[in-house]
Amino acid sequence: MNKLDVQNAILNAMTPYLDDDQLYQLKNTLIEQLYGMNIVEEETRLSVVVIKNVLLNI
């Protein structure tokens, strides 16, 4: 997921709650505030924890 994907996800999530002018302002604000930033998707691995002989997948 890159910066544009994040911006679009936010805009899509907010679309039902905002009118066209508000969405336009939100889009411009996201572009301005995220300018020069890198968005990197973090990968995590599944952890396995054993507590008192009980296997828990976390």
Distances in whole angstroms, Cα of residue 34 to Cα of each of 6, 14, 26, 29, 46? 10, 17, 12, 8, 30
Model confidence at 10, pLDDT cuts 50, 70, 90, reads: very high
pLDDT in tens, 28-54: 999 999 999 888 887 777 666 656 555
∠ CA 58-46-7, rounded to 5°: 100
Residue with tokens 């995590």: 44
DSSP, residue by residue, 20-32: HHHHHHHHHHHHH
pLDDT, the chain, mean: 84
pTM of the model: 0.67
